[in-house]
A = this chain, B = another copy of it.
């Protein structure tokens, strides 16, 4: 039932005699500062859920997609999955003496990230193959689950999953309560995310889209397994995001949120559909509570998408101004 219908039903009931008026519904976005950003979100959700209204969208088509790194949780000083990969390199290094001479492993082991990153895509593929493949899907899931509860962010000295954005938790819950199906669409590793996204965000595994490696089914003496091969299968970033959305979801979102140029094509794809739709960017403007970065950043660069958001009047959320709370632990 839409808000309006619900209000009408209530008024009718009261006309027939009723008790004290109930208090107004609690604010669904309490960590958002009152103002244009918050109003734009509330207004959009009201419009698309208003049965009979000009912008009404049936619940089945209320698909919302969220980037993860920098949109649902922080991504500095580097993507949090990189901390996992680096910890795996350190753990496995004693068995790989050759890594002391080979990038990106050498740089990671010596703390020279610049040298490690200079190995580029070839280096990333080798890093993935050496640390995240050569095991079953269940073994990988257990490994991520064990790491994510123990590892600590270097600045905050807290588990990485403490660094999720409280306003975005409220936003995804608000959309879900209004009949939206919320998906993560991230460049991060699909199985890396699925190991904790349901617990942390309430988003189930089947609503997570991400980068994947190749897998192979094997039947080992009657025990079927899925073996993770050391090859990258799909990169869900930039122009890959609309491809991932089509492949996994098969519907065009009506709401998409990102924070970097890697999300631009997802926002373009979302906004190119018919009828009411909504695109937003989280702009990292808060160097004190979180980080401040955009056009010059190596991680999460926001340049072209910021220009396009300005031209097309997409919502740009100013973290410093629009968010009363950044992390749940501040409350």
Interface on A for B, CB 8 Å cutoff?
Answer: 60, 63, 137, 181, 190-191, 194, 198, 204-208, 212, 215-217, 219, 223-224, 226, 239-243, 246-251, 265, 268-269, 272
Contacts and interface: CB of A to CB of B under 8 A. Distances in A.
Contacts of A243: 215-217, 226
A251 B137 contact: no
Given A205-B251, A208-B250, A223 B190 contact: no
A239 B216 contact: yes
A239 B217 contact: yes
A250 B217 contact: no
27 contacts: A60-B204, A181-B206, A190-B247, A190-B250, A191-B250, A204-B251, A205-B249, A205-B250, A205-B251, A206-B206, A206-B207, A206-B248, A206-B249, A212-B247, A215-B243, A215-B247, A216-B243, A217-B239, A217-B241, A217-B243, A217-B265, A223-B272, A224-B242, A224-B265, A224-B268, A226-B242, A248-B248
Copies in the complex: 2
A162 B137 CA distance: 39
Contacts of A239: 216-217
A129 to B, nearest CB: 18
A161 B243 CA distance: 28
A197 to B, nearest CB: 10
B272 A206 contact: no
A108 to B, nearest CB: 28
B251 A219 contact: no
Given A181-B206, A216-B243, A219-B268, 17 more contacts: A60-B198, A137-B246, A205-B249, A205-B251, A206-B251, A215-B243, A215-B246, A217-B241, A217-B265, A217-B269, A219-B265, A223-B272, A224-B268, A224-B269, A224-B272, A226-B242, A226-B246
Nearest to A272: B224
A195 to B, nearest CB: 10
Contacts of A137: 246
Contacts of A198: 60
A257 to B, nearest CB: 17
Contacts of A60: 198, 204
Contacts of A194: 250
